[in-house]
Chains A and B, each alone.
Chain A
Amino acid sequence: MKRGTASVRVGLVAGVVSLCLVAVLLTMGGVPGTQAAPTKVLYVGITLPLTGADAEDAELIKDGALLAIEEANAKGGVAGYRIEPIILDNGTATAGQYDPAQAAVNARKLVANLGVVANIGPQMSGSGKAMAPILSEGDLATITPSSTNPDITDPKFAAQYRPKGKAIYFRTVTTDAYQGPNMANFYAEKLHVKSVYILDDSGAYGVGMANAFEKRAQQKGIKVLGHDQLNPKEADYTTILTKIKGMNPDAIYYGGVAQAGTKLAKQAYDVIPKVIKGGGDGVVGGSFLKGAGFPAAEGWYGTIAAPHITENPAAQPLVKRFVKRWGKQPDDYSFTAYDAALVIFDAIKRVVASGKPVNRHTVRDAIQTTHLQTIQGEISFDQNGDLKNKVISVFQIRFNKEYPPDDPLHQYHYIGVAPQE
């Protein structure tokens, strides 16, 4: 017993001493030259699947958000506050890609930390569905730069995804309620597809996309020959592709992310090389290019749920800053993430200007009333958190041998905006 108390005491003393040391070091570090830097700190979460098959694209999103934060801090912070990112990994090795269970854990962590005023992420809708109810309970707003499943913000599912009523899931992209159907319009009107076979990867995002595509395809008079589900952990898709070959469709449409998508692309190239192939934003990005490789990736169509930014002349200074800071090319979701950070900063500024205390509740309310001009156009949200501006951009992979085969900026050829009803 005695020994126990003694060691506890020693531990306490050591703890206090080290705390003092840290405090002294901090104040010393704070004095010279950095007086202008704000000492008040606000935390912004960044939750992305940085482990697993989605990591490549998640990194680009993270880099976009971090760039915005670094630039804001370099200019003296946001309304007197320094912004500190808290980066949490939504992916796990066991899942091999984004893991909704881990996303839920991360959401709880963020809610528990009262310094966090808002979050950027998640990348994936499956994670979003797990995070939304927790964030709603905590009244903590998140802005997703890429997750597009419409259910999360649909008032029909409000009891499930925002039990507290207020919108907490905002997007700087539009949803699959437009991405899937507009691609079906593109298939019918521009590619003149008469028959299609639909596949999804059994994830929340993939199933939603594929279903939305299917519905519109039927309305447009495209014959849907079938709709089957791929297991993303499975290696072999030749069975389903052989079956599709037997039906002889004009096109296939794939709703899902890169993990199943890359394998599908490889094997589809062998089995049904001449069939038109396309998907959503799951097949747009470096992960898809790197995994599928050329020639298998050649000719695939993909969409993103945002305007095409990286080749927009007005965005070039921003692209240059990104390349200079990170040494790699951004993709469009790097900039929807950049915009997500700007929306949060703008909200903080307006809260400070109004004289209210800056916390997650006031910041959420301010995000709701955003009217911000960014590189993608005006950002403002409806009462569910969805972006009012709805643009779906279509791309096709065309190998450009002057650039590395996994460079998304140069291997995706921008076709245009998908037709909207």
Chain B
Amino acid sequence: MTFRDILLQQVINGLSLGAMYSLLALGFTMVYGIIELINFAHFNVFMVGSFIAMWVLEALGLSGQSRILTGWPLASVLAVAFGITMLACGVLGIVIERTALRPMRHVPGTAAMITTIGVSYILFNIILLSTGAITLNYPNPMPSMAWHIGKAVLRLREVLLWGVSLGLMVILHLFVRRTKLGKAMRATAQDQEAARMMGVEVDHVIMLTFFIGSALAGAAGLIFGLYYNFTSFLIGYTAGLRAFTAAVLGGIGNIVGAMVGGLIIGLIESVGGQLLQVRWTDVIIFSILIAVLVFRPTGLLGLSAPQKS
């Protein structure tokens, strides 16, 4: 392998990581955009999502990487898995909002944020106690198809990961920009009080935001499982922290910023690991974050894009 091939391979790896971080970052950034709350429960909604998806795949008769599907069966299995997982995680998001966060909404200070940390730990421990702590082998029906670009390898799972992430992000973008509910979300983000006066059901909008953010986390959880072939109760922490960093890097509250931030973090991780050592990954990521925040305190794309429109 020449250095160019390796670099290309690292860019492919980085884009895959980045796509996953982007999907996760969207949940942080949407909730922050609407109610200015950093939702740490999001870390583990993602983790729960990967478990729900695993159970769905197992219920569909898959186990390990032994049964490979192609064509329509593969597409329908994945569609069912994505559908159920996103729905279940969305509902989980609504439940968290309704039971733990709504009572906190008018409490000043950091109470609500601390509550999300608590919820995060509850989810973490539920999964730990009900599934045990070992790393689980993930049911994966995807064939190991791959394309060669020079010596670099592009696998089907990467294409799927990019495709699904891009698709979901485009849908989200259109939803927020073009639909009435999206308009209500943007209005609530700008000024809750004024939105309420204009007849926007603010409570519903907030619930919807949690639903969409959590559903995207669920999708990311499933993608994680299919990409790495494993899941464990621990996966929320590292991925969540990177995704949160991505949201801040892109400008928290800014949807496009979250997508861009995710990709940048993913690329830094893989290319940085190639050029230096992987043990420095976190140091590199957080140094760049600090540097960006020093010179652009609102992140790369600025705070809350909705306010500008």
Contact = CB atoms under 8 A, between A and B. Distances in A.
Interface string B1-34: 1010110011001100100000000000000000
A263 B155 CA distance: 18
Nearest to A286: B134
Interface stretch (B35-43, B72-80, B191-199, B228-236): B228-236
Interface string B270-305: 100110011101100000000000000000000000
A32 interface: no
Contact of A246 (B1, B228, B269, B277): B1
Interface stretch (B82-90, B94-102, B124-132, B169-177): B124-132
A262 B277 contact: no
A266 B273 CA distance: 19
B245 to A, nearest CB: 14
Contacts of A290: 134-137
B239 A239 contact: no
Nearest to B138: A293
A56 interface: yes
B98 to A, nearest CB: 26
Contacts of A258: 134-135
B239 A235 contact: yes
A236 B14 CA distance: 10
Interface stretch (A141-149, A210-218, A226-234): A226-234
Given A53-B133, A291-B136, A231 B281 contact: yes
Nearest to A248: B1
A100 B22 CA distance: 35
B135 A259 contact: yes
B65 interface: yes
Interface residues of B, number: 41
Contacts of B281: 231, 234, 239
Given A228-B279, A263-B228, A291 B273 contact: no
B274 A243 contact: yes
B125 A93 contact: yes
B55 interface: no
B224 interface: yes
A125 to B, nearest CB: 20
A258 B134 CA distance: 9
A153 to B, nearest CB: 28
Given A229-B279, A234-B238, A235-B239, A291 B137 contact: yes
A54 to B, nearest CB: 8
A228 B273 CA distance: 10
A46 B263 CA distance: 47
Interface in A219-259: 228-231, 233-240, 242-243, 245-246, 248, 258-259
A51 B125 CA distance: 12
Contacts of A233: 234, 237-238
**Most A CB within 10 A of own CB, among B6, B229, B235, B282:** B229
Given A93-B124, A290-B134, A239 B238 contact: no
Contacts of B132: 55
A291 B274 contact: no
Given A235-B228, A242-B13, A243-B273, A53 B134 contact: yes
B137 A228 contact: no
B238 A235 contact: yes
Contacts of A56: 134
Given A228-B277, A263-B228, A51 B133 contact: yes
Interface in B218-271: 224, 228-230, 232-235, 237-239, 269-270
A52 interface: yes
B125 to A, nearest CB: 6
Interface string A244-284: 01101000000000110011001100100000000000000
Nearest to B241: A233
Interface in A393-421: none
Scoring B125, B132, B135, B238 by chain A CB atoms within 10 A of each residue's CB, the highest score goes to B135
A239 B134 contact: no
Most buried by A among B9, B278, B279, B281: B278
A368 interface: no
Contacts of A235: 224, 228, 235, 238-239
A285 B249 CA distance: 42
Contacts of B134: 53, 55-56, 258, 287, 290-291
Looking at A52, A229, A238, A270, the one whose CB has the most chain B CB atoms below 10 A away is A238
Contacts of A52: 133
A255 to B, nearest CB: 14
B118 interface: no
Contacts of B136: 290-291
Which of A231, A234, A240, A292 lies at the interface centre, i.e. has the most chain B CB atoms within 10 A of its CB? A234
B89 to A, nearest CB: 18
A242 B133 CA distance: 29
Nearest to B3: A246
B158 to A, nearest CB: 10
A138 interface: no
A252 to B, nearest CB: 14
A239 B228 contact: no
B270 A293 contact: no
B270 A93 contact: no
B257 to A, nearest CB: 23
Contacts of A234: 238, 281
Nearest to A97: B133
A239 B13 contact: yes
12 contacts: A91-B133, A96-B233, A231-B238, A234-B238, A239-B14, A239-B274, A240-B278, A242-B10, A262-B135, A291-B134, A291-B136, A296-B229
